[in-house]
Chain A
């Protein structure tokens, strides 16, 4: 359950960034999560709901946007996704020289306040 630590980090980041802003209620947190970040969305939601009561986030919902995994072959430059299994092999030239372009993200994109 490292998702609990992550949710606590998210709340801290939001509060730090709202310090000098004027608002009454935090309505939504928009979180970007890479497909290959190792975070389970359901566990994030569960942790968020479990700890938000009696905090500034009690009226807030957590929106999670999943960013698909994308790698680029360093030999033929083909960009490829991973489908059922995680193989870092270029489907076109079979090279294993890769660069991960997306899918490892984990960041707070924005918040909606009133």
Chain B
């Protein structure tokens, strides 16, 4: 006997995500989900943003990692609220789910935060599929990763409203064709906002903080 079910597999996550988004908005918090491969500079981007917006906007961070609190320790040094999620106990999951993030965010006083960064697990595949309950997805792509990454991992770039191209200070020493990289991003996501910067030299960081400030209103 066949029984029709017709139920979305990620409906439960989508429900929590929608509810969380509203909850963050109600508390005056803009939530930004950062996704990338490991080593592209998500943690450094958060650190530099905290420094750049010091005294202007209050930042909180939900830090996702499979193991260790290394990234969380770096960010905690800046004196901002941070809650770490180690996905080790969740079977070493390669992504963050909306409910885990909500649980972490609820450990902070959201009224004391304007901007909540969710640093997703370094992975270009899985995180893209789970709505985190954030208002925006931001993909961080660093120049040494090569021009072809947007084509190889289209879902991540297609679901991100902003793509930050990091490590632009290396352009002189790499064989990278930056225009081709940007063209490839536009191929999978014609509407993507592309921001080129270097978290090392700070060049272009103002374009990123300008975007954040615009969205923060």
Contacts and interface: CB of A to CB of B under 8 A. Distances in A.
Interface of A: 1-2, 4-6, 9-10, 12-14, 17-18, 21, 23, 31, 36-39, 85-89, 96-98, 106-114
A86 B93 contact: no
A86 B187 contact: yes
Contacts of A106: 8-10
A50 to B, nearest CB: 11
B70 interface: no
How large, as a class, is the contact surface on chain B? 20 to 34
Interface of B: 1-13, 90-95, 97, 125-126, 128-130, 151, 154-155, 158, 186-190
- A contact patch SS: mixed
B155 A38 contact: yes
Nearest to B121: A2
B128 A88 contact: no
A23 B126 CA distance: 35
A9 B5 contact: no
23 contacts: A2-B93, A2-B126, A2-B129, A4-B93, A5-B91, A5-B95, A6-B10, A9-B13, A12-B12, A13-B7, A13-B9, A18-B3, A21-B3, A88-B158, A88-B188, A89-B187, A96-B186, A107-B7, A109-B6, A110-B5, A111-B2, A111-B5, A113-B3
B132 to A, nearest CB: 13
Across the A-B interface, the 6 shortest Cβ-Cβ residue pairs: A96-B190, A2-B126, A86-B154, A38-B129, A108-B5, A38-B155
Contacts of A110: 2-6
A5 B92 CA distance: 11
A109 B4 contact: yes
Contacts of B10: 6, 9, 106
Nearest to A16: B7
A110 B93 CA distance: 27
Given A21-B3, A88-B188, A112-B1, A1 B92 contact: yes
Given A9-B9, A110-B5, A111-B2, 8 more contacts: A5-B97, A38-B125, A88-B158, A88-B189, A89-B187, A97-B190, A106-B9, A110-B2
A15 B129 CA distance: 23
